[in-house]
């Protein structure tokens, strides 16, 4: 491994950021399934996803490419991160129309919809960090939120729309969940089916059922019901036991299992400073 040549190689956040500490963990990646199910429960968000052809020609591969763009923003060089931002924004500029289910207009550049997508990602990452790692204190959780605001603003979220604190973001999400915006449509259930019946070529297919159970079990109850998931006290107890075991065993896992590949590649690029 070689040392960092210049500040540009550190990317947008760098190895000393909380964003690196959170997003490099494989068990935090598991929270992405929860975030995706929450995003899909907004009919205008999922209508926009359909507009991009998400469900055509191997949706799982499209999902993996989307994840790669997101992780490049965190772990790539500054040039790579900015290229990913522009690719996402370019797609969003083309996505607009009328949702056939609700009859409402959707626009992928709508700051409110962008904030919902962003909030689901941040909230799920912090939740799964807490449940499976537990290394952050309140100040570090707030720092993560503030770092991720930068990415959100680059992707079109107005700075004054983003709640200033983690608590404020959670309160805003609760308002959306308890309001009348969300609706689990057939398109959202198609996302649900991706996790319940992953294709043979899906990465980590053997453990996706377990990841899906963690995602389902940590959804807001009203969304879980919307997806038609029957959740019992026994399932909740099993979930708690699984999460406790994962948190206990995680530190003993080899790095190749504990850290995601983009994070390892980034550490190799700039030197093992993370």
* Displacement of CA 168 from its chain's centroid (Å): 19
Per-residue model confidence as pLDDT tens digits over 85-118: 999 999 999 999 999 999 999 999 999 999 999 9
31 contact partners, CB below 8 Å, separation of at least 6: 124, 125, 127, 128, 129, 214, 215, 218
4 contact partners, CB below 8 Å, separation of at least 6: 10, 270, 271, 273
Q: Convert 192-203 into a string of H (helix), E (strand) and C (coil).
A: HHHHHCCCCCCC
Strands (E) across the chain are located at 96-98, 105-107
pLDDT band at 206 (very low <50, low <70, confident <90, very high): confident
Per-residue model confidence as pLDDT tens digits over 124-153: 999 999 999 999 999 999 999 999 999 999
pTM: 0.92
Per-residue model confidence as pLDDT tens digits over 186-195: 999 988 988 8
**Residue 5 clears pLDDT 70, i.e. is over it:** no
**Residue 234 clears pLDDT 80, i.e. is over it:** yes
Query: For residue 139, what are its two tokens?
Result: 């100040």
Nearest-CA neighbor of 259 among 31, 19, 14, 28?
28
Query: For residue 253, what are its two tokens?
Result: 């896992």
Weakest mean pLDDT among 4-8, 178-182, 215-219: 4-8
Domain boundaries, the chain: 10-259
pLDDT recorded at residue 51: 78
């Amino acid at each position: 491994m070689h040392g960092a040549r210049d500040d540009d190689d550190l990317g947008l956040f760098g190895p000393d950021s909380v964003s690196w500490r959170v997003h490099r963990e494989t068990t935090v990646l598991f929270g992405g399934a929860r975030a995706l199910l929450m995003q899909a429960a907004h009919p205008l968000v999922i209508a926009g996803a359909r507009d991009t052809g998400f469900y055509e020609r191997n949706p799982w591969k499209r999902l993996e490419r989307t994840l790669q763009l997101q992780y490049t923003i965190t772990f790539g060089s500054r040039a790579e991160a900015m290229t990913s931002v522009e690719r996402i924004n370019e797609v969003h500029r083309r996505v607009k129309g009328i949702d056939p289910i609700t009859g409402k207009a959707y626009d992928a550049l709508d700051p409110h919809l962008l904030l919902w997508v962003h909030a689901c990602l941040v909230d799920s990452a912090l939740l799964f960090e807490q449940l499976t790692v537990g290394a952050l204190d309140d100040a570090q959780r707030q720092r993560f939120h503030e770092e991720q605001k930068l990415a959100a603003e680059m992707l079109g979220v107005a700075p004054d729309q983003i709640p200033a604190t983690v608590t404020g973001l959670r309160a805003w999400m609760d308002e959306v969940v308890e309001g009348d915006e969300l609706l689990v449509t057939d398109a959202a259930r198609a996302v649900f089916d991706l996790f319940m019946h992953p294709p043979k070529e899906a990465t980590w297919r053997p453990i996706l059922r377990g990841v899906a159970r963690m995602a389902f079990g940590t959804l807001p109850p009203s969304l879980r019901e919307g997806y038609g998931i029957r959740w019992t006290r026994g399932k909740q107890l099993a979930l708690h036991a699984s999460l406790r075991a994962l948190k206990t065993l995680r530190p003993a896992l080899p790095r190749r299992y504990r850290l995601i590949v983009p994070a390892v590649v980034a550490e190799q690029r700039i030197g093992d400073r993370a």
